[in-house]
Amino acid sequence: MKTIKLAKIIEFWTSFDPDGGLSINDVLSNITAVGQTNQEVNKATERNGSSLRRTKRLDSDTEIKGEFIVVDYEPHRGDLILHNYDSKKAVEEYLLSDQGPFNPFCGFAIPIIDSKPWFYNLSCEINGEFQIFYKHTQFIDPDPFKQKYHGRKIKWIKEAEQSDRANPYYAVTP
C-alpha cells in the first residue's frame, strides 16, 4: 500500500472527529513507524524527547509494508504512529490493551488489514455497567487514568453493516 492510500484512509477516518481531523498533508508531515518493518517511513525524522519528528514530508508513493497495521494518534504530542502486527489477533490485543483506545492519551486507533480499514466497536464495564466504550466521554471521569475498563471486548463491524456514509470515528468510539 502506498502512503497516499494510507493518508486518505486516515483523513476519512478522522474527518468525523469533533475536535477536527487530519488532512493528507498532516499525515504525510507527521507519520512515523515503530519496529523494523516500515523503517523507510522513518527516513527524514529526528528524535524529539520520546517522539520521532519528521524533518521532511513523507513522499506519497512510499510503500507501506505489512498485512496487519494499526495507526494511532496521540493528540497531546501530535504523534501519528504506524504499528505492524503479525496477525488480526495481535491487532485485537492492542486495541483492547491499555496502550490502545482505552488509554486517555490515544486519540484514535485505526486498524488496517489487507490495505483496508476495519471498523469496530469497543465495550467494557464502566462504573459497574457493561456498555459501549465512547472515547469522547472518557474525560467526563474526573480521573480517566484510574478507570480500569474491566471485561473489554471488541466487535468487528462487517462491511455489509457499514453504509457508504459510515462514520468511522464513531464506529470506533461511538
The whole-model pTM stands at: 0.84
| pLDDT for the residue 162 | 55
pLDDT tens readout for residues 39-60: 888 888 888 777 778 888 999 9
**9, HSE (Cβ side, Cα atoms, 13 Å):** 23
Which ranges of the chain would DSSP assign to H, the alpha helix?
A: 3-14, 24-30, 88-96, 168-172
Count: domains in the chain? 1
In the predicted model, is pLDDT for residue 63 greater than 50?
A: yes
Query: What is the radius of gyration, based on Cα positions, of the chain?
Result: 16
pLDDT tens per residue across span 72-120: 988 877 789 999 999 999 999 999 999 999 988 888 899 999 999 998 8
CA distance 74 to 145: 15
Given a cut of 70, whether residue 124 has pLDDT beyond it is yes
Question: Which pLDDT score is estimated for 47?
Answer: 81
Task: Supply the pLDDT for residue 161.
Answer: 55
Q: What is the residue-averaged pLDDT of the chain?
A: 84
pLDDT digits (tens, 9 = 90+) for 159-171: 645 544 445 544 4
Tell me, what's the pLDDT at 65? 93
User: For residue 91, what are the domain limits?
Assistant: 3-172
The percent of residues above 90 in pLDDT, for the chain, comes to: 41
